[in-house]
Amino acid sequence: MPTIRDVANAAGVSVGTASRVLAGHAATSEESRASVTAAAAALGYRMNARARSLRGSRTQTLGLLVSDVRNPFFSELAHAAEHAAGEHGYLCLLANANEDADQEQRYLDAFASQQVDGVLMTPQSENNPELGRILDDGTPVVFVDRTLRSHTVPSVTVDNAGGIRSALEHLRRRGHTRVGYIAGPTSVSTGAARLAAIDELRAEFGLDNDPLLVIEGDFRAESGTDAALRMLELADRPTAILAADGLMALGAYAALGPRADPADIELVSFDDLEIFGQLHLPISSVSNDPGTMAGEAVRMLLAAIDGEQVESVVLPTRFIDRSAPRGER
């Protein structure tokens, strides 16, 4: 691969001049601009981004660490973040923590040694020492979707309590008082916040206060299936099930089986997945658009990289009612 030196030689100028022309610097003559450009094209010159970033202080690279790329919510988030970053000339290093704290640390270390300009992440483990080091180094970090008690970091999250409230309002309108809740892990901020909201609002919405109606899952489909099956075996079955995330809602859907009657049980999910619109049992949802979250988070991160002070934002949710018309219940 030709270097800038080859280009300079071919163009008959010094590397300094070649560098200035290639960087679009102002102080260059028409003549050298022409010869350097021609030489670069002829040689098929391509700038070495790593060498450039060694000299300068920016790498134009962002680290993006999500909990699980196979979760549609996060893959949408990753896509949107990568897209937004690209629009600002940044490249993303995408990594998948895979719900594993060790892996999360390894990737953060890799990000740091790759000199990323900033990190966007959906954190999952409290007191992650690697995160502490990165912050100490002065690398800007923005949390998306989740937060951590152990570290004060700007974040983009949704109004979990508001979302839960909208779901409960829906369920009250539909006449449900016996509602099963498939919780997320309370070790994760979203899991904890949503469960806390349920407990807070239980009385106001006249929900049965039965501990058997709350089962903690792990934000994956299978745990949703298990939880739903256990609830359905109860002597006093719930008439509706609310899941703390989309995958667990899908798991609960699977548990109900292909012959389930929409009038039999009502499903509501936190997170809106595209597939929900296509199922034979409608799943209403609290929609928290990952695309919007990612866009906002990238904006914040870039501002932080530019040295600005950024404030956390909490986005509103929107309830999507997919339930059958009243008459059909």
Assigned token pair, 142: 């923005």
Q: With contact defined as beta carbons under 8 Å apart, do 274 and 247 qualify?
A: no
Please pick, from the candidates 135, 254, 303, 313, the single residue that binds its own copies as defined by CB under 8 A.
Answer: 254
Beta strand pairing status for 141-144 and 179-183?
A: unpaired
Smaller CB separation from its own copies, 10 or 207:
10
Sign of CA dihedral 68, 72, 73, 77: positive
- In the list DNA, its own copies, none, the entry touching 29 (Cβ below 5 to 8 angstroms by class) is DNA
Rounded CA gap, 229 and 282, in Å? Answer: 18
Q: Which of residues 36-65 bind its own copies (CB under 8 A)?
A: 44, 46-51, 53-54, 59
Tell me the two tokens of residue 323: 């339930």
23 versus 324: smaller Cβ distance to DNA: 23
- Residues within window 163-202 making contact with its own copies, judged by CB under 8 A: none
Query: Which is closer to its own copies, CB of 113 or CB of 309?
Result: 113
The DSSP result for 202-270, as a single string, is: TTTTT----GGGEEE--SSHHHHHHHHHHHHTSSS--SEEEESSHHHHHHHHHHH-TT--TTT-EEEEE
Per-residue x/- marks for its own copies, 63-92, CB under 8 A? ------xx-x--xx-xx--xx-------xx
CA end-to-end span of the chain, whole Å?
A: 69
Residue 112 has a CB neighbour count (10 Å cut-off) of 16
Binding residues for DNA, rule CB under 7 A, total 27
Query: Given the rule CB under 8 A, which residues bind its own copies?
Result: 1, 44, 46-51, 53-54, 59, 69-70, 72, 75-76, 78-79, 82-83, 91-96, 98, 109-110, 112-115, 133, 136-137, 221, 250, 253-254, 258-260, 262, 274-275, 277-282
The site for DNA (CB under 7 A) is made up of 1, 3-5, 12-17, 19-20, 22-23, 26-29, 31-32, 47-48, 51-52, 54-56
